[in-house]
Amino acid sequence: MRVFSMLKRVLFRMVLFLLAAGLVVLADYIAGRLYPRLAPASGQAAVASLLGDEEGKQTGYFLQHPYLYYTYRPSYQAFNAVQFNTRGHRSAEVTQLPEPGVLRILAIGGSTTVCFPYVKYFSEAWPARLEAMLRQKTGLGIEVINAGLHDANSADLLLHYLFRNRYLKPDMVVMHVGGNDGVALLFNDYNPEYTHYTHGWRNTSLAPRPWERRLLQSNLIKLGYAWWLRQLSLAANLGRDDIRSLSPEQCLNNARVHEPEGFERNLDLLVRTVLQDKAVPVLFPFVWAPLPVCREAGGYGPYAEALVCGFEKDRPVLKKIGEKYGLTTVWLPTNAIPDSLFVDFCHVNSDGETIKARYLADALIPVIQALNQDGRYRRAGSPAGSDKRQADILYRTALEKKQAGEPPSQQRAALMEVLTEYPRHEPALQDLLRLWQDAKDADQVARVTVCLKNWFQPAVPAPAALANGILLLGVTLDRTACRAGEQFKITYFWQCPPPVAPADAFTVFVHFVAGANRFQDDHEFLAGIPRGDLAFQPFPETFAVERIVSVPAAVPPGEYRLWLGLYNRATGERTGVRTTLTTRENAVEIPVVIRIDR
């Protein structure tokens, strides 16, 4: 009897324990579902910071970087427009390497290069205006990347070039410098490493204790933390001093006493590195307003004499470096920009940007002509896919030059004409690759190889035969993990025999599936590909269809598998599929997983 009574007590306690545990699990589940609505936004940001989310820090259009100090926030929007591309440059999207035959110019400098927010659209800044002028004046395919960085001195620009921008393989680097390095002279205790006025980011980002991240896996504890930390601000700033912390007299005295040692050694190393990368450095000295205009420049007006003194001290450095390496240096004449076009002591409006671009274009044309003596740059043609017929005619001419044994330079020039008409002419690219390999030009080989890989070779092969001779070759994703509410890019690679009718008859269904959860990217077959390209295919054409997929905010986290197929738009019926891959209900499983996180 006593044993039976003890057993009842033990069982009762176990039931109570299991019931309590079940209630805790249920409460935690409910807290997780309600967390986005119940937790204060500021508290959610603090919890995200504890969990390692760097994006949660409120840094405006800047992002902290462990080596580059700061970068622009990719895809940042202002004035109802995207201001920075996914690489953080104030330009249209660019490939990692320039396309074959395209002359790439990298423009670096401070806020007077990036021109944000002083002109509202990147097309109004001088780098974009320069690109348009050079294309018109030279007739060549030219792209200018605006890699300007607000508040950047020569140390910042050097780091950004060493760690990031050099890998864009520019043919020319235009350096619009000498302004922020002049400002560095105005502070006390000048140090050529610029530590005298740059102290690192100032913020209140949270460093979790060893056990806190594990603790925050509980939704209940996350909710409690969010309310506990709701008053905490994560606002951050660059941690660079402002001259207005000193008197105008102190700044002027400092500018007169200090010498720009840091600017000279940084600029010298930057130029040497650009030359080692086989690119052409061009110096474009900083431009500022006349002294009377500087004096009217708002809060910086009282510092006009000190600022001009600092700017003028950097000019001999630019002259010295230019003469040392025999560089083209583009000096704007005094009063080249009318006073009325300055919006403050150095930034100009859209008309002023045009004047800068015009002087630069005139100075760079001889440099470009010298670079193009062997005809390595193609003419500025129409967008890809505009005239495949003409490209194929030109390709036959290029083959005749090859068969006749004409010099490689003439063969390359003939292939460039093909690519001018149709940049994605695969046989012409393959022939051009072999010519550059024979010439042992590693940079040009890399350019062509990357284009062949990106345009014609999926990162994830998934061969499948569908309706009417349509072939799926595979897909490429720009990333395989993202959060709900974010976007990712996926490229589908197809081959489709003419005529065009099969393309118009089908829709691609794309399902991302994790158990009972899913989201879709259904779209018109070969969306965005000109139908004329399908009708005329003198060689088996590979068509790359790029899609931006938006992950719905309500999608639960998980590992989503990609299922793809075609259905007839008129009947709604799925077409058959033949492949060695896994299939289900006339859909093929692509061997890739996309992880969706919260």
263 with 215, same domain: the answer is no
444 with 485, same domain: the answer is no
Q: Residue 154: inside a domain, yes or no? A: yes
Structure confidence at residue 384 (pLDDT) = 46
Structure confidence at residue 83 (pLDDT) = 92
Where residue 515 sits, what CATH number does that domain have? 2.60.40.770
Structure confidence at residue 519 (pLDDT) = 95
525 with 514, same domain: the answer is yes
404 with 322, same domain: the answer is no
245 with 306, same domain: the answer is yes
Structure confidence at residue 22 (pLDDT) = 78
130 with 263, same domain: the answer is yes
Picking from 472, 585, 456, 586, the residue whose alpha carbon sits closest to that of residue 526 is: 472
Contact 473, 542 (CB under 8 A): yes
Structure confidence at residue 56 (pLDDT) = 46
564 with 468, same domain: the answer is yes
Write out the two tokens for 405.
């044994």
Domain count, the chain: 4
Structure confidence at residue 500 (pLDDT) = 55
Element (H, E) at 494: strand 487-495
Give the C-alpha separation, 451 to 447, whole Å.
Answer: 6
Task: Please tell me whether residue 236 adopts helix, strand or coil conformation.
Answer: coil
Q: Residue 174: inside a domain, yes or no? A: yes
Q: Residue 61: inside a domain, yes or no? A: no
SS3 string, 63-83, reads EEECCCEEEECCCCEECCEEC
For residue 499, cis peptide bond before it (omega within 30 degrees of 0): yes
> Could you list the residue range(s) of the whole structural domain that residue 581 is in?
460-597
Q: Residue 577: inside a domain, yes or no? A: yes
Q: Residue 15: inside a domain, yes or no? A: yes
Distance of CA 113 to the CA centre of its chain: 17
311 with 367, same domain: the answer is yes
Last residue of a domain, one of 404, 423, 454: 454
pTM score? 0.76
Write out the two tokens for 179.
């302004």
Low-confidence stretches of the chain (pLDDT beneath 50): 56, 384-385
Task: Please tell me whether residue 262 adopts helix, strand or coil conformation.
Answer: helix
23 with 100, same domain: the answer is no
Question: Residues 247-281, buried b or exposed e (16+ Cβ, 10 A)?
Answer: ebebbbbbbeebebebbbbbbbebbebbeebebbb
Contact 260, 320 (CB under 8 A): no
Structure confidence at residue 385 (pLDDT) = 47
257 with 301, same domain: the answer is yes
